[in-house]
Amino acid sequence: MIISNLIRQKSYEKIEYLLRRHPITFLPSFLIFLLMLAVPVVVYLLINNLYPNILDPLTSKILFPLATLSASIYYLGTCLFFYFRFIEFYLDIWIVTNDRIVSINQKGLFSQTISEMDLYRIQDVTVVVNGFFPSIFKYGDVQIKTASQNIKIIFKNVPKPNEIREALIQLSDEDRKHHNS
């Protein structure tokens, strides 16, 4: 599947921006994953220190295979958890065309929210860069509101938010002129 099929791109439509969250925002999940990988090693060293040979493969005919299977299940579960977290991070997509904005928000594996907003309806674009890391690495939220204020799309933790804001204002002005004519 390509992006144009995903958003059912119209013949006159051109994709201006394809946005995802800044990669630095995935770092905490990656660090947690590394920490989780270390847990069985620490537990093994602790048990080996307190009760030597209890997990020796030659003497322990029951505990060793059970401990190995448990560790394997734990590690595979950790891999799966990491993959889930990546899917949640990477599948939040915001597509800006010269006609509309499409927001795809992935929550877990079986929940997805897709929103669409025509560019000419945009009334207000606000950028929020809040915190030390967002300021250093230049990422933040772009909040887009219509006249009714009830409909709002938020680009979360996208890179270069000010550039996106300026582009959105320009694109919405051009789309409004096109609709008025």
Partner 1 sequence: MFEISLYIFLFIYFGFLAIFFIFSILNFYHIVVTASFTLASFIVSFFVFSLATLILYATWYLLINVDWQTAVPLFNYEWFNGILIF
| Min dist. Cβ of residue 71 to partner 1 (A) | 8
> Half-sphere exposure of residue 9, counting CA atoms within 13 Å on the CB side?
16
Residue type, position 6, single letter: L
H or E element at residue 81: helix 63-90
Looking at the Cβ atoms of 2 and 50, the one nearer to partner 1 is 2
**Separation CA 181–CA 164 (nearest Å):** 26
- Is 115 near partner 1 (CB under 8 A)? no
Looking at the Cβ atoms of 97 and 172, the one nearer to partner 1 is 97
Task: Report the residue count for the chain.
Answer: 181
| Min dist. Cβ of residue 12 to partner 1 (A) | 20
What are the residues facing 122 on neighbouring strands? 146
**Separation CA 29–CA 16 (nearest Å):** 30
- Is 46 near partner 1 (CB under 8 A)? no
Tell me which stretch binds partner 1 (CB under 8 A): 56-64, 117-125, 133-141, 161-169: 56-64
Binding site for partner 1 (CB under 8 A): 1-3, 5-6, 23, 57, 61-62, 64-66, 68-69, 72-73, 75-77, 79-80, 82-84, 86-87, 90-91, 93, 104, 106, 109
